[in-house]
Copies of this chain bind each other. A is one copy, B any other.
Amino acid sequence: MIENQTRIRARFAETDQMGVVYYANYFVWMEVARVEYCRALGFEYRDFERDAGAGLAVLEASCKYRASARFDEPVQIICKCVESKSRTIRFSYEMRREEDGKLLASGETLHAVVNKEGRTVRLPETYRRYFPLGGV
């Protein structure tokens, strides 16, 4: 399975009074990386929502924090799909300081494919090629 790298810079808005990026914001970064991952696979997540009438609802999310990200630091987020089932998809993430490659945090999110009513459904067939069944 492919992996994709996304580059962001820590925003001032994302810091807290400890002088580092607030812990919840790493989950926002994972979302940014997830959307770019889809683009790298060959489709736009917003089209997935519009055309397939489906979304990826988050079932689980976790993060381990190793080092602090600081304001304005470039951060590389490596995202990959690590498990694809008929109705769920799991992504993993590594967030690294660009300057020295230091691991800042690693995380995972598990998603259910849901329709507009929020009910779990099978991944639409036209998108299965992007997420072949299996895991790593």
A interface residues, Cβ below 8 angstroms from B: 11-13, 15-20, 22-25, 27-28, 31-32, 35, 44-46, 55, 57-65, 68, 70-72, 109, 118
Assembled-state Cα–Cα distance A44/B63 (Å) = 27
Known A13-B24, A17-B12, A17-B71; contact A63-B60, beta-carbon cutoff 8 A: yes
Assembled-state Cα–Cα distance A35/B118 (Å) = 26
Assembled-state Cα–Cα distance A102/B16 (Å) = 23
Is A58 a contact partner of B23 (Cβ separation < 8 A)? yes
Known A11-B28, A13-B22, A17-B15; contact A72-B59, beta-carbon cutoff 8 A: no
Is A65 a contact partner of B71 (Cβ separation < 8 A)? no
